[in-house]
Amino acid sequence: MCCSKCGMICSECSRREEFGCSGCNEMSSGYWGEKCEIKVCCEAKKLEHCGLCPDFPCEMLREITYDEELGDDGERLLNAKKWADESKESSEIRIKNFLFGISLGAVLGAVFGAWQGMTAAFVTGGIIIGAGIAVLINISKKQ
């Protein structure tokens, strides 16, 4: 799961203890005391990390990833891509849960509605209840 803006896995960073870095998601500036342009860019675009950016991988991220001193030969790019894929998959699952809840609610509403002679009211109620259940499922899986 994501832990930085650029794709760095903070728990594996050799500089973490040396500089007292708690990760860019927790700090207001870079661990070296200067402004991190990648952090600024992600926050300006309201992105959790670079992998979610439509410009991924940008030149700025490539420069840092392949920098002789700070680089990691592309590992950050792979991490950010993986995090973006996980985020997309999670969103697709939430949408499927929601649509399943609505569909199931509509079907059950139609069955009970036909039985009671009030199909439209029961279908509407079933859709609302199904959507509510789907939202609760998504919330519980997110935590």
**DSSP annotation string for 47-109:** -SSGGGSTTPSPHHHHHHHT-TTT--TTHHHHHHHHHHHHHHHHHHHHHHHHHHHHHHHHHHH
Residue ranges, the chain, pLDDT below 50? none
- Per-residue confidence (pLDDT) for residue 10, from 0 to 100: 77
pTM to 2 decimal places: 0.59
- Per-residue confidence (pLDDT) for residue 61, from 0 to 100: 85
- Per-residue confidence (pLDDT) for residue 32, from 0 to 100: 57
